[in-house]
Structure 1
Amino acid sequence: MRPLNLLLLLFLIVSYLGTEARAQTVYTVTGLVTDSRTGDPIPFASVALVGRRSGTVSDEKGHYTLTVKILTDSLAVSSLGYKPLRRAIDPERPTQAVDFKLESSGTALQEVTVKAGENPAWRVLRQVRKNRTINDRKRLSAYEYDSYVKTEIALSHVTERMRKNPLIKRINEAMSKQDSIVDDEGHRLLPLLASESVSRYYFRSSPERKREDIRKTRIKGVAVDDAGLSSQLLGGTNLVSQNFYDNYIPILGKDFASPIGDNWKNWYEFFLADTTQIGDHVCYEIHFDPKRPEDLVFIGKAWIDTTSFALCQIETRIGKDANLNYVRGLTIEQELETTVDSSASKTASAGWLPVSIKLTANLTGVGKQSLGMRAQVTLRNSNVVVNRPHPILFYEQPIEPSDTVATTNEAYWHTVQSTLAGADSLSKEDQKAREIIAKLRAVPAVKVAEAIGQVAVTGFLKAGGLDIGPYPYLFAVNSVEGLRTRIGFRTNEQFSRNLVLRGYVAYGTLDAQFKYGAEIDYLFSRQHWTIAGVRIANDLERLGLTPELIGGNRIFYAFSRFGRYRGGYQSYQKEVFFKTEPVKGILLTAMLGSRTFDPLFPFRYRVDPELGDQSTLRSEYNDAYWAVEARLARKEKYLMDGNERITLGTKRAPVLTLRYTRGSKMLGGDFNYDRFTLRAQQTFRLGPLGRTTYLLSAGYTPSTLPAPLLFPHIGNPTPLLTTNTFNRMQFYEFVSDRFVAIHVQHRFEGLLFNRIPGIRKFNWRLIANVDALWGSMSKANEAVASRKPLPDGVRPIYFGALDGNKPYMEVGYGIDNIFKLIRIQAIHRLNYLDDGPNNIPLNSFALKASATISF
């Protein structure tokens, strides 16, 4: 099952914690911290568990006592003027004594000059920004390293109400009372996933290129597979690659202000606490707190090297008041080390790279009674090579694991544990989590929940080599078909890793007609994504609302089949196509096909428009064509999900699509024509100002054609808000033979509402949009349209045209994140307010709603 299903399953399986909690063991570690040379006690030394945020300090006589609910396998002690020291401890013993003898570091601190009236931390932070070009990893021309990643996901925070759930009771019956793991706060956890991954990561700065070779994974989890897509999502540095030298840190689709970014003074209060030893570096310890808790900022502390003013270590957490959904808490811990320039003939220092990263997120649902989830990612980097870039073609690879990535090899993992992962490799607690996961996967009720989660998230039910669905198309009710039922399928990698079959059958109770579609694809290459296929379809479509025109918006396309079916037509389509990606980011497509148009609404066009009303009239036509398309998506990332390629989007780079279509009578069509189309879309992150997304589209045909073969603009008169459409335009109100359309949407996040007392507690977010359309129709194409009454006296449908000097305009504004789910937006149509074509009444204003799950 695909890992995306896990997100839904987390909310379907609440927990097995209905059993009475057994008495929680309390662990106590005591000891003495002394000077190794003199034997004198060292007061106020920091004592902490390695890998956790639990610690204490020694008293005036050097004694310490650490009491926690869970132990790791080692303890670390540090004190100013001494080298830090780690000692192994037994994580299973309730009580133990461990003494530490620290050696003097012999390091002198750099003098710090503080001006009267100035916060002493400011001087350090100014030096951090001044020396950024020396210390930031971005100064490196290239780097690569081995990366070990451990990911753990578990359910937590279960209320009494949840324990009455029937699914929980069945899980309780299958689980032993001894199956118990607790977090740092004493909450019992239900492990759902435990994974380890080893990869080699490569980066080149100019031109910017990345590559990641996933060498080995071992994954155990509920609702995830053991390799494939899981290896790509959970193995690698995608989740924990934050660079705090950047002004803003992207997390969960939001931009958090960095405490050492250019705007540090505007967002944070700082306190210079102390100097301390971090590895081989003496560091300033600086604490930071947000000026406004509702902003997207951090709370924590950073350690800055006193010599180079580089960031050595940082611990951050997101406050509970931040405008972020479904997050109880999130922490990021990084340790960085200076690197050695591998290209230099002599040993020379280079920028700093993270050697250890730990991200912990405690998530929750909607409401105080919702369950919780803890996700933890731990990363270790080693074997670093700096400033030795590979040829550009070396980086032109998708993130795809090898065929043996999940093959069991205990000797390999034993080596990883001793050389790369160290103490972060699977501990006794992790092994126990794997045992619980194995038991959980055997519970019948969990298997049912997995199937439900799979259908709800992907739209398909996996049955061996077949995926049955998608479910949004299963039922529809409209004025033409009555009750429409549809069943479809596609094959997956269990059927074949190269051959892909798709198909569906639909039936309408009112028109008593069967519809169908079928497709056969052959996948030649995954690395350069080369695929060829042939498809046929005989179905009812709606003018301007084909899947091609609406960009694959599955939900909107499904809803368009409900209600009054204006603009419906019967279409029989045949097409062959070939796609290939010769260079990463450039996808080329060629296609050859034909399609019929047989309208179910009153429509006629002039076969010989130069004859005016004396021309023969027709309603149907056959369109035969060939087309070529180029899609440019710089920096786009993909994951391979069996035979499907899933895009992760681009990082602030536009996605540009260009297509040329040639209609041909020689291929059996009724028209010769040329059509040019362009489409560009992009999202800008503007830091505290929010995010702006635009979609620009344009089209031009110099040919004389019936209106349906031109550019019917996508309207949306339904109450459902749909972005990238004109929400106050009718379905086929306007048609153009040349046009430019722009859809701009800006999310202010919490920029305004966070500063309004009484409103900021709701975590609402302001959103605004502008939609504009410039279009026109030539006199020749206007002459093709006929208004001559039909033989039965019915007036034919007439498509409106825009004034080329006056754009169609819509503006909207609204509130997003109501109950963390609902968006309500007001839409104003600014012009073309007279009665629309075909006497459809117009209303310039509408309130629309949509539902979106986002952080």
Structure 2
Amino acid sequence: MKRPLQRLFFLSVWTLLLITGGNGYGQTVYTVTGMVTDAQTGEPVPFASVALMGRRAGTLTDEKGRFALSTKNLSDSLAVSSLGYATLRRAIDRERITQAIDFRLVPAGNALQEVTVRAGENPAFRVLRQVRKNRLLNDRNRLSAYECDSYVKTEVALSHVSDKMRRNPLIRRINEAMSKHDSLVDDEGHRLMPMLASESVSRYYFRANPQRKREEIRKTRIKGVAVDDAGLSSQLLGGTGLVSQNFYDNYIPILGKDFASPIGDNWKNWYEFFLADTTQIGDRICYEIQFDPKRPEDLAFTGKAWIDTTSFALCQIEAHIGTGANLNYVRRLVIEQELEPTIDSSSTSGATTGWLPTSLRLTADLTGVGKQSLGMRAKVILHNSNVIVNRPRPVGFYDQPVELNDTVATANEGYWHTVQQSLAGADSLDRDDRKARQLIDSLRQVPVVRTAEAIGQIAVTGFYKLGGFDIGPYPYLFAYNTVEGLRTRLGFRTNDQLSRTWVLRGYLAYGTLDKQFKYGAEIDYIISRRHWTMLGVRMSSDLERLGLTPELIGGNRMFYALSRFGRYRGAYHSVQKEVFFRTEPIKGIMITTTLGSRSFDPIFPFHYRIHPEMEDQSPLRSDIFDAYWSVEARLARKEKYIMDGNERITLGTKRAPVLTVRYTHGSKALRSDYNYDRITARAQQSFRVGPLGRMSYLLTAGFTPSTLPAPLLFPHIGNPTPLLTLNTFNRMQFYEFVSDRFVAIHVQHKFEGLLFNRLPGIRKLNWRLVANADALWGSMSSENRAVETFKPLPGGFKPTHFGSLNPGTPYLEVGYGIDNIFKIFRIQGIHRLTYLGTGRDGLPIDKFVIKGSASVSF
């Protein structure tokens, strides 16, 4: 999986859908009363704003400065603000049902820097221009290096459970098991069913040049449904990667989308601003600036930012995703950050430098399809301390981006008590957290929940975990095609419970029509996890399809699985054996060397000339034996990844392309039928194009100067099925064209809501415009064309003919469509612009087709 955070989310959702329920237990109402007065005169402060931090709960003082606030869920503190006074924040005892807290506000009489307001100009603009002007002094990106201790608390719970769901017989069993415990409610009064509660402590390291990151996860404690106590969960739920948004950047990536920053370069194009007041944050006087999206449907925030009046640095921000934003499955999302300047550790002067977040909160209310669907509440709280800046470690120190302490999941109450007193502070485990853990323990004892956990694991990961073995993947379990009939495949892999050094994989398949067994087996030995070095041996005997090898399709496993259905054109039997060695000597550069052989035994009408110089006098042959060695280099700058047992999962790269170059040499010395050389290259990237949306591309190229039969050249990947598949040619037939040199590019652009958000009546549908362009330049030398023969096969069958491209005329496709229909479906029209004659079957080629696909994304 390339997106393990989404994998964890959808695993939890799948489990919840199977066990969805709630309870109707009593709700506790908390009451906080008090009085607000002027610290100098003692006079009451009327109409002061009193609010729970991080909650949608607040009130105003009356004419006598008194207030009374009732809520079903407390936060850690209460804040009071009033025009002309510094904001004051006081801690709340979350264990007490009723309590009284008085506030004495100090007048904000500090001298501010002069702000010149131009006639007719919004006074907030002057402040925001200074924020961008001083960015190079305040942005954390100016630091050459920094490291800090991080405490992260994560909570996930079900919410918005309907009465209809509670009437389900299975849900009643859950309610009976949980009825012994008090319920939890969110700040809107919705009952919660906790599914995950975790705490993590780590040491985070960052180096700017070359950019490197490292995280040492020291301790975690996790309780959850469908969540392990360590390993992958510790890496996903710990550290700063979860909530590390930098608002100085122009766009903030959230849930796979890019939200415009209110203090980015394009702030004036996206937002309306209001300079509300000056207020005191800690010992700093700050401008309070409120911001709202100019267009509610845009991917933008609404909220407040507090800017230091002296340095014009961002001190604090509270950003909400608007309810009208074109975003799926999100009812509400709030990001809160508090930042502090750091002390330059490389200098003896004690000078301050870039600002780092010291406290971060992220709260999200997620939902399914429909207003009455199941909801989920997720909350992440992070605290950073013990910061050291501008002391970069040696580059080799960062080679292991994520490292787990040997005792990361070992229980140690004394350790956590120390953490609560230092790192965690007021956000340490409270009564609600302890209650959530008790409810989770009770929930996991219900048999239907344990069953749902197993089904959810299978649905999301494709494997069923059975001790040291993972059985699957289940997408490959069944297929039906014209060659094999009903194909059944059962596979497995070992995990780190069996061994952290040896990894075994295998499968066995059988077709009811061809009545043949197929198999595959692989043994890997992990030499080093630090440099991800391994040695492996694999062998397979299976039915394949011409042009759809894993190498050519670039690891698109779902397309590879779907290609086994239906009419199985270009089928051939292949026996493949390989020995490979893989290592990452330098972070971001992966080297793979392979020694192997493969056979090609077609079951479609095909033969070729063994001696093409003899033309029609040449003997003919159908099968091929290929023996080769290869060297591959993969460059992925800024790539992030985590370890899932013995599997390394990539989290992708940030803006940087991923480049792959492979050289292959076929050798008769290895008993190959041919000596040949081949080089292939691949580049892919996804990046933001300002307000126009997000673009991605895949660029591939290949060249062989050798004379070879068509199966050893480059059969281009067509897709005549009704399913839209990206990074293929959707109006090209399977192996319609073959080249010995080519360049292909696939470009896709997602406009998000750029157009549809501005069309009345349509913008409520949350549709998204998409477009694509695919081009292929290729050719085949006269020597390779001479290898092909048109002589009939025995029995009079016409041999399969492979087309070739004109070097001066590229193959072109363009497409456009609507994505996010009912939050799942995509419909796209594809035009074929060139090579519009007749196909191999003699029928006219369709110029236009409509295809569809389905996917789940935010």
Query: Fold-level match, TM-score > 0.5?
Result: yes
Match 1:715 to one of 695, 718, 737: 718
Distance 1:179 1:826 in 2: 54
One-letter code of the match for 1:499? W
Please, what is the CA RMSD of the aligned residues? 1.9
- How far does residue 244 in structure 1 lie from its aligned partner after superposition? 1.1
List per-residue Cα deviations over 1:700-755 (Å, max 9, x = no partner): 11111110001111111001110011111111111111111111111110011111
The corresponding residue for 1:145 is 148
Deviation of 1:51 after TM superposition, in Å, equals: 4.9
State the AA in 1 paired with 2:651: L
Q: Distance in 2 between matches of 1:841 and 1:469?
A: 42
Residue of structure 2 equivalent to 1:731 = 734
Measure the CA separation in 2 of the matches of 1:61 and 1:352.
40
Shift of 1:306: 1.4
Q: Deviation at 1:262?
A: 1.7
d(CA) in 2 for partners of 1:524, 1:145: 31
The whole-number CA distance in structure 1 between the counterparts of 2:567 and 2:841 is 15
After TM superposition, the structure 1 stretch with the greater mean CA deviation from structure 2, 63-72 or 146-155, is: 63-72
Structure 1 residue 79: Cα displacement: 5.3
Which residue does 1:56 correspond to in 2? 59
CA distance in 2, matches of 1:19, 1:333: 29
**Deviations 1:5-43 (Å, cap 9, x if unpaired)?**
552342442498866624433221111223455433344
Q: Which moved more, 1:370-379 or 1:682-691?
A: 682-691
C-alpha separation between the residues in 2 aligned to 1:385 and 1:508?
62
Task: Report SS of the residue matched to 1:249.
Answer: strand
**SS of aligned partner of 2:151:** strand
AA at the equivalent of 1:624:
A
Q: What amino acid maps onto 1:296 in structure 2?
A: L
Would you say 1:621 and 2:627 are equivalent positions?
A: no
Matches within 5 A, 1:90-101: 90-101=93-104
User: Which residue of structure 1 lines up, in the alignment, with residue 356 of structure 2?
Assistant: 353
- In terms of mean alpha carbon deviation, does 462-471 or 16-25 score higher? 16-25
Residue 564 of structure 2 is aligned to residue 552 of structure 1: no
- What's the CA shift for 1:160? 2.1
Name the SS of the counterpart of 2:401 in structure 1. Answer: coil
Instruction: Give distance in 1, aligned partners of 2:145 and 2:455.
Output: 45
Whole-angstrom distance in 2 between the partners of 1:238 and 1:165: 39
The aligned residue for residue 513 of structure 1 is: 516
**2:429 is matched by which residue type in structure 1?**
L
Contact 2:31 2:98 (C-alpha < 8 Å) held by counterparts: yes
Q: Conserved in 1, the CA contact under 8 Å of 2:148 and 2:203?
A: yes
Q: TM-score, normalised by structure 1?
A: 0.97
Pick the aligned partner of 2:677 from 665, 674, 679: 674
Q: Is the 8 A contact 2:22 2:193 kept in 1?
A: no
2:777 matches 1:774: yes
Letter in 1 for 2:703: Y
- Among 592, 598, 604, which residue is 2:601 paired with? 598
Match of 2:329?
326
More displaced 10-residue stretch of structure 1: 651-660 or 131-140: 131-140
Name the SS of the counterpart of 1:66 in structure 2.
Answer: strand
Query: For 2:291, which of 288, 292, 317 is the aligned residue?
Result: 288
* Paired positions, count: 855
* Contact 2:605–2:800 (8 Å) recurs in 1: yes
When structure 1 is superposed on structure 2, of 230-239 and 170-179 the one drifting more is 170-179
Alignment of 1:442 with 2:445, yes or no, is yes
Partners of 1:535 and 1:179 lie apart in 2 by 55
Letter aligned with residue 173 of structure 2: R
Is 1:81–1:107's contact at 8 Å kept on the other side of the alignment? no
2:845 is the alignment partner of 1:842: yes
Q: Which amino acid aligns with 1:142?
A: A
The answer to whether the 8 Å contact 1:145/1:200 transfers is: yes
**Hey, what's the Cα distance between the residues in 1 that align with 2:18 and 2:579?**
50
Distance 1:198 1:79 in 2: 37
Equivalence for 2:540: 537
2:94, 2:430 within 8 Å by CA — same for their partners in 1? no
The answer as to whether partners of 1:200 and 1:214 remain within 8 angstroms in 2 is yes
Q: Deviations over 1:623-652 (max 9, x none)?
A: 111111101101111110000000001001
Q: CA deviation at 1:836?
A: 2.2
1:654 counterpart residue number: 657
TM-aligned CA deviation for residue 49 of structure 1: 3.1
Alignment of 1:347-746 (within 5 A): 347-746=350-749
State the alpha-carbon separation in 1 of the partners of residues 75 and 18 from structure 2: 25
* Farther-moved stretch of structure 1 (244-253 vs 711-720): 244-253
- Sequence identity, in percent? 75
Any stretches of 5+ residues in structure 1 without a counterpart?
none
1-side partners of 2:9 and 2:114: how far apart? Answer: 53
Deviations 1:210-244 (A, max 9, x none): 22111111111110111111111110111211111
Which amino acid in structure 1 is aligned with residue 351 of structure 2?
A: A
Aligned match for 1:765, one of 764, 768, 780: 768
CA distance in 1, matches of 2:373, 2:443: 21
Q: Does 1:344 align with 2:356?
A: no
Greater mean deviation of Cα atoms: 528-537 or 40-49? 40-49
1:177-229 deviation digits (Å, cap 9, x = unpaired): 53310000000001000111111112222222222111111111110111111
Runs of 5+ consecutive residues of structure 2 not aligned to the other structure: none
Tell me the distance in 2 between the aligned counterparts of 1:325 and 1:88: 36
Letter in 1 for 2:402: I
Could you tell me which amino acid in structure 2 is paired with residue 429 of structure 1?
A: D
Q: Please tell me the residue identity of whatever aligns with 1:851.
A: A
Match of 2:249 among 231, 246, 249: 246
Summarize the Cα distance change of 1:26–1:136 in structure 2 as closer, same or farther, 3 Å threshold.
same
1:746 and 1:805 mapped to 2: Cα distance?
27
Q: 2:167 aligns with which of 154, 164, 168?
A: 164
Cα distance in 2 for residues equivalent to 1:343 and 1:83: 34
Is 1:783 the counterpart of 2:782? The answer is: no
Tell me whether 1:29 sits opposite 2:28 in the alignment.
no
Secondary structure (helix, strand or coil) at the match of 1:839 reads: coil
Note if 1:209 corresponds to 2:212. Answer: yes
d(CA) in 2 for partners of 1:827, 1:535 = 39
CA distance in 2, matches of 1:18, 1:799: 58
Paired residues of 2:108 and 2:279 also in contact (CA < 8 A) = no
Q: Give, in whole Å, the separation in 1 of the partners of 2:624 and 2:25.
A: 75
Give the Å deviation of 1:166: 3.8
Aligned-partner Cα distance in 2 for 1:358–1:9: 21
Is 1:16–1:172's contact at 8 Å kept on the other side of the alignment?
A: no
Instruction: Summarize deviations over 1:577-626 as a string: whole Å, max 9, x none.
Output: 01000011000001111111110011111111111111110000111111
Q: Secondary structure at the match of 2:648?
A: strand
Q: Is the partner of 1:613 in helix, strand or coil?
A: helix
Please tell me whether the aligned partners of residues 688 and 694 of structure 2 are also in contact (alpha carbons under 8 angstroms): yes
